Amino acid sequence: MGKRVAVVVGGSVAGLACAHAVAGAGWELVVLEKAAEPAAGSGTGAGLGLDAQSMETLSRWIPGCGIDAATLPLAVDLNRATDSETKAVRTLARDDDLNFRAAHWGDLHRRLHEELPPAVTVLWGHQFLSFEAPDDTRGVVATARVLRTGETVEVTGDLLIAADGSTSSVRRSFLPDLKLRYSGYCAWRGVFDFSGKESCDTMTSIRRAYPELGNCLYFDLAYKAHAVLYELARSRLNWLWYINGPEPELTGSSVTMEATDAMVARMRDEAERIWCPELARLIRETAAPFVNVIYDADPLPRLSWAGGRVALVGDAAHPTTPHGLRSTNMSVVDACTLGQCLAKWNSADACARAGRVRGGRAARCGAVSVRLLSLAASHGIIFFLIN
């Protein structure tokens, strides 16, 4: 049997993590990503937190000191309350055993891309359109549009991996009635770059107000709002500000939206009213803040993972809110588990045994065994059967 091929929809962190894990199981992969090129680093995305399990997994894919050099420790979780009238801040709770590390999305994405195995091909500027399984010999055929030329291309594989986020178009093809649930709040997000400006007034004041930056995740509470602040590698501060409010009207499939100048001006005025002067100043001086609309969804039906050629991972399988730093870590665990399943059970003998157990039905699937399905489902990976 020749090498099997997986087609990954989505080339963000979840998609590239799947590429690493599944290539490690001996598969070839083609990744379809609509972005024109890989992330360059500091100019793309925002901060995220990596737990110990993700760090261990990522260190196998990003060798040497690569992942450590791209992260800073988040050993302390410090919860505080801000009185918006007096601007007084008091500590509510402290956890000295957080054991996370902070990374910038662009840094992590760039390093995952740089270390991709030779078995992985990333097709940048390819927007996924649809897929089908015409017969057992052709497996799964994904259709994508080449954004630079407008032409459509087909990519054939034995398994389709949907890593296309919480608004997954692959998931919608199976569960068109499943709707994302608005959480009731949005997040303003930004990264303040202070490279070459460590001694500026803004940084001097913010380090005085937040003395444990570089080792601590600060969680500040105020009336109907809360903010998160932590330091990133390469002289950057990541902040988030969650605000209760009605659901915004989004266009397209992204849950982030660019902010107009008027929106940013109102947000900065509100920051002055709510937060301590040091945090308000940091927010005011951050270039290009953006809005992240927060959604989650009920767990997908158990019947959805009956078998098959299509796997949903990360936010495509389990859209979640960002609290607890879960989303990226769940994606890395999904990818690792999928790779382990394919390495252990995806052989001709395993498929044959699965076929006997399932009366031949799983053998017709050809990509995934019964044991793979059971183990993967226990880790949140969702499979769909295509006859």
pLDDT (tens place) for every residue of the chain, 387 residues total:
578 999 999 999 999 999 999 999 999 999 999 999 987 655 567 999 999 999 999 999 999 888 999 999 999 999 999 999 999 999 999 999 999 999 999 999 999 999 999 999 999 999 999 999 776 556 899 999 999 999 999 999 999 999 999 999 999 988 888 889 999 999 999 999 999 999 999 999 999 999 999 999 999 999 989 999 999 999 999 999 999 999 998 887 789 888 999 999 999 999 999 999 999 999 999 999 999 999 999 887 654 443 468 889 999 988 998 888 889 999 999 999 889 888 877 543 333 332 233 233 222 233 444 445 555 655 666 665 443
Question: Closest Cα to residue 333, out of 50, 11, 111?
Answer: 50
**3-state SS class at 250:** coil
Q: How far is CA 66 from the centre of its chain?
A: 19
Predicted pLDDT at 359 = 33
**3-state SS class at 160:** strand
Question: 367 with 139: CB under 8 angstroms?
Answer: yes
Predicted pLDDT at 302 = 53
- The values of phi and psi at residue 27, to 5°, are -95, 160
**Which amino acid belongs to residue 77?**
D
Question: Do the bridges between strand 28-33 and strand 120-124 make them parallel or antiparallel, or are there none, so unpaired?
Answer: parallel
Which stretches does DSSP call E strand in 297-362?
A: 310-312
CA dist., res. 268 & res. 246, Å (int): 19
Question: 69 with 44: CB under 8 angstroms?
Answer: no
Dihedral class, residue 141 (left if φ above 0, else alpha if ψ from -120 to 50, else beta): beta
Question: 355 with 307: CB under 8 angstroms?
Answer: no
Question: Closest Cα to residue 83, out of 269, 241, 221?
Answer: 221
Predicted pLDDT at 254 = 85
CA dist., res. 277 & res. 288, Å (int): 20
CA dist., res. 242 & res. 260, Å (int): 18
Q: What domains lie within the chain, and their CATH numbers?
A: 5-36+125-179+299-384 (3.50.50.60), 73-104+181-296 (3.30.9.60)
The 89-95 sheet, strands edge to edge: 89-95, 76-82, 216-222, 225-232, 236-244, 181-193, 290-296, 256-258
CA dist., res. 177 & res. 152, Å (int): 28
CA dist., res. 181 & res. 294, Å (int): 9
Question: Closest Cα to residue 342, out of 361, 369, 302?
Answer: 369
CA dist., res. 108 & res. 211, Å (int): 26
Tokens of 198: 């460590």
pTM: 0.88
